[in-house]
Structure 1
Amino acid sequence: MAKEKNESELLALQMEKLVRHFEALRIADYMELLERPFRLIAINFVAGLSRGFGIAIGATLIFALMLEFLRRLIMLNIPGIGGFIAELIRIVEMKNGQI
């Protein structure tokens, strides 16, 4: 009788640990999300748009800063480098339709 009581207490303790672990992993929220596929698609779509927008803004800023750095480097009139960078900037501006 005492052995059965110890086993049932041990089982209850293990079940309680398992429930706490599942709650920490938020399994119920994940299962609820899987039951509504439209919501899952919408969340992933918005996340993809956000990532794409962030990448576009970041790349634009980096290239603009790089272009400004190259323009300032041209102003220094360093032999060899200035002509190469001027040609590079001319090509970029031609591709963008500024010339």
Structure 2
Amino acid sequence: MTGKNDSEDDSSPPTNEEIMERLEEISHDVHKFTLADYIKFIKSPRKMVLINFISGLARGLGIAVGITFLGAIFLLILIRMAEANIPVIGEFLARLIQVIQNHL
């Protein structure tokens, strides 16, 4: 069963109604499988805890890496501005960099 009527010619393009019917069938199938998988997932507490634990680790690692990169970029910008010897900003940044380096 291909979903086409036997009286139709294979070379004729499908009508809008046929396309919409097929899309509705596909949409229904996708929702049915998604709901079944979700119910199976909820019924398995171990799997649920494992997935949530792994996703939490990934989020934490992503936050740590992101903050590290942003902090490094921020410090590089501060160092470059201090090296530029802009009178007011340079002195302030030099003191700020010294404080940061002393605490690291």
Runs of 4 or more, structure 1, over 6 Å off, are none
Q: How far apart, in 2, do the equivalents of 1:64 and 1:89 lie?
A: 12
Choose which of 89, 100, 103 in structure 2 pairs with 1:95. Answer: 103
Q: How far apart, in 2, do the equivalents of 1:79 and 1:23 lie?
A: 68
Q: How far apart, in 1, do the equivalents of 2:59 and 2:100 lie?
A: 26
What is the deviation of 1:20? Answer: 1.3
What is the deviation of 1:33? Answer: 0.5
What is the deviation of 1:90? Answer: 1.0
What is the deviation of 1:41? Answer: 0.5
Structure 2 partner of 1:27: 35
What is the deviation of 1:78? Answer: 0.3
Listed as ranges, the matches of 1:1-99 within 5 Å are: 20=28, 22-23=31-32, 26-96=34-104
Q: How far apart, in 2, do the equivalents of 1:94 and 1:38 lie?
A: 46
The unaligned stretches of length 5 or more in structure 2 are: 1-23
Larger proportion of helix? 1
The unaligned stretches of length 5 or more in structure 1 are: 1-15
Q: How many residues are paired up?
A: 79
Structure 1 partner of 2:18: none
What is the deviation of 1:76? Answer: 0.7
Q: How far apart, in 2, do the equivalents of 1:31 and 1:81 lie?
A: 59
TM-score scaled by length of structure 1? 0.73
TM-score scaled by length of structure 2? 0.69
User: What amino acid is aligned across from residue 58 of structure 1 in structure 2?
Assistant: G
Structure 1 partner of 2:20: none
Q: % of aligned pairs identical?
A: 38
